[in-house]
Amino acid sequence: MYRLSINGVVREVDVPQDMPLLWVLRDELGLVGTKFGCGKGLCGACTVHVNGVAQRSCQLPVGGVGNAKITTIEHVGDTKFGARLQRAWLQIDVMQCGYCQAGQIMSASALLAGNPKPDIEQIHSAMAGNICRCACYNRIQDAIRIAADMQDTDMDKGDSRA
């Protein structure tokens, strides 16, 4: 039995210790926003935040999570940069099929949290692990820049859901 802190709530799961967090989220807890793409840490679709750091949940055994605070796409809109990125994503409608976008937003929000004004090389380096098969890369770049340029507003308290 593991007690996990996910999106601010403690969840208990009874699974083998080597089960990757991705499958705990999707198949045990019903948090299907985090996506399966490759199972090998090659595509970034499954990116979550572990204590604020972007990690590939398909490569993270549940037994290694411990007390770390996990944030997923379902909750990242309650963080300042997550909310800004979601707004920026909609402002220029980044996506085509949209399947990889949860992972893109999770990687981008971890980037901005650590580096609020990244240059293009820093954006490329932080996002190179996230594949978009539809190749929306021009707009992903643009949306990250738009979010980085946003000013503090009331909306940063975390509601992009209006």
Partner 1 sequence: MHEPASFDVERRAVLKASLLAGGGLALEALIPLPAKAVGALGRAAPPVELSAFVSVAPDGIVTITSKNPEIGQGVKTSLPMMVADELDCDWSQVRITQADVDQKRYGAQEAGGSTATPNNWLPMRQTGAAARFMLLQAAARKWSLSAAELTTAGGRIFHAASKRSIGYGEVASSAATLTPPDLESVTLKRPEQFTIIGRALVGVDSARIVRGLPIFGIDTRLPGMLYAVYEVAPAHGGRLIKAHVEALQHAPGVKHVVPIIGNGDADGGLADGVAIVATNWWLANQARSTLAVDWDLSAAQGHSTTVYKDRAKAAFAAGEGIELRRDGDPAATLAAAAKRISARYDYPFIAHAPMEPQNCTAHYQQNKLEIWAPSQTPQEGLNALQKALGIAPENVTLHMSRAGGGFGRRLLNDYMVQVAAIARAIPGVPIQLLWSREDDIRRDYFRPGGWHSLEAGLDADGKLVAFSDHFVTFGDGQNPARAAGMNGAMVPAGLVEHLRYSQSMIPTVVTTGWLRAPSSNALCFISQSFLDEVAIAAGTDLPTLMLTLLGERREIAPFAGRGPAFDTGRARDVIEKVMQTADWTRKPLQPARAKGFAFYFSHRGYFAEVVEASISKGEIAVHKVWVVGDVGSQIVNPMGAENQVRGAVIEGLAQALAGQAIEFVDGVVQQSNFHDFPLARMPMTPEIEIAWVKPDKPPTGLGEPALPPVIPALTNAIFAASGTRIRSLPVRLPTT
| End-to-end CA separation in angstroms for the chain | 38
Cβ(135)–Cβ(83) under 8 Å? no
Residues contacting residue 86 through CB under 8 Å, at least 6 positions apart: 76, 77, 105, 160
Query: Between residue 129 and residue 148, which ones bind partner 1 under the rule CB under 8 A?
Result: 130-141
**Count of chain residues binding partner 1 (CB under 8 A):** 60
CB burial readout 61-70, b (16+ within 10 A) else e: ebeebeebeb
Contacting residue, 1, 9, 10, 16, with partner 1 by CB under 8 A: 16
In this chain, which of 6, 60, 127, 150 binds partner 1, going by CB under 8 A?
127
* Binding positions for partner 1, rule: CB under 8 A: 15-16, 19-20, 22-23, 26-28, 30-40, 42-43, 45, 72-74, 77, 85-86, 89-90, 93, 95-102, 105, 123-125, 127-128, 130-141, 160-161
